[in-house]
Structure 1
Amino acid sequence: MQPSAPSPDPSPVPSAAPQFDERLTAPRSWWVITGLLALSGGLIMFPLGTVPMLGGLVVAAVLAGAAVSSYGSARVRVVAGSLVAGDARIPVSALGAVEVLDAEEARAWRTHKADPRAFMLMRSYVPRAVRVVVTDPADPTPYVYLSSREPEALAAALEAERA
């Protein structure tokens, strides 16, 4: 039996591996503040004894850690023909021009230039961003604003996925 030659696939299938994947994690300083909040919880309970103090320390640490972790768990990915930002999944075919924003321009689009109808996944501790125009006529969202530490790579991944 001879090995058969691989037949060319006539329909391009989007790859399942992400072309871009970024997690917008909280900065280290927020984790230091989380530790200080845990210490504060322990100190508040200190007058009641050792066990309540340890309980206050643990409860404050868990609550503050959960808050920082959940806020810092946002992901931006370009995978399988879609832009996935947080809970939103947008087909790349519904997206138009991609604009890389420097820190000053990103701040302007977060504040006075912002459209209330836009989808925004922004993190204040990430100074740069990407703004992507939504071209789908059925979608009332004018653009997508995404904070990114690597906006050039995100823009390149979107362009490559569109091509």
Structure 2
Amino acid sequence: MHNADRTTSTAAPSYRERLSPSLWVLVSAAVCAPMAAIVFAPLDGTIALAVGFAVGAAIVVALLATAPTIAVVDGVLRVGRARIPVSDLGTPEPLEGQAARSARGPELGRDDWHLLRGGVDGVVRVPVTDVEDPATHWVFSSRTPDRVAAMITRAQRGR
């Protein structure tokens, strides 16, 4: 069936980043393969190798597939499964180094919404200006916090 009124958006997102696990996390997950193989080694060596390979591959694929993304698309900030219009946000703050560590730790408020990933040093903190929203800030990890903050600001200006 042809629907002439259907509209599709082919515009690329203003910004998109996947917070995939670091290489060390993937290597650590792959260590599960020999452990699974050892469990099945008394039964049969071939079965043990197959199970070990399957377990290691499944864990690595699961880690990559479930990695959250950050995107600024059509005036909406998307971090993982959460979404908020950029019009409900204040001025974003890109943080790195000690400031990022403080934002992830002692400065993280109890009313702040956050998505923090180990192995990703940069952080973006954005105040929420919507009085109806229970979160006061969004705090999330990013490998390029300056670019995320610039794209949020650009989307707020409507460019």
1:57 to 34, 52, 55: 52
CA root-mean-square deviation = 2.0
Higher gyration radius (CA): 1
Percent sequence identity is 32
- Could you tell me which amino acid in structure 1 is paired with residue 22 of structure 2? P
1:68 Cα shift?
2.2
Q: What is the TM-score normalised by the length of structure 1?
A: 0.83
Taking the TM superposition and a 5 Å limit, the aligned residue runs for 1:41-120 are 41-71=36-66, 73-120=67-114
1:55 Cα shift?
4.5
The aligned residue for residue 142 of structure 1 is 136
5+ residue gaps, structure 1: 1-14
1:20 Cα shift?
0.9
d(CA) in 1 for partners of 2:135, 2:119: 25
Contact persistence 2:103–2:123 (CA under 8 A)? no
Q: Deviations over 1:20-42 (max 9, x none)?
A: 11111111122222222112211
| Runs of 4+ residues deviating >6 angstroms | none
Q: What is the TM-score normalised by the length of structure 2?
A: 0.84
Q: Deviations over 1:2-57 (max 9, x none)?
A: xxxxxxxxxxxxx9421111111111122222222112211222122124413431
Contact persistence 2:30–2:57 (CA under 8 A)? no
Q: Deviations over 1:137-160 (max 9, x none)?
A: 100100001111111111110111
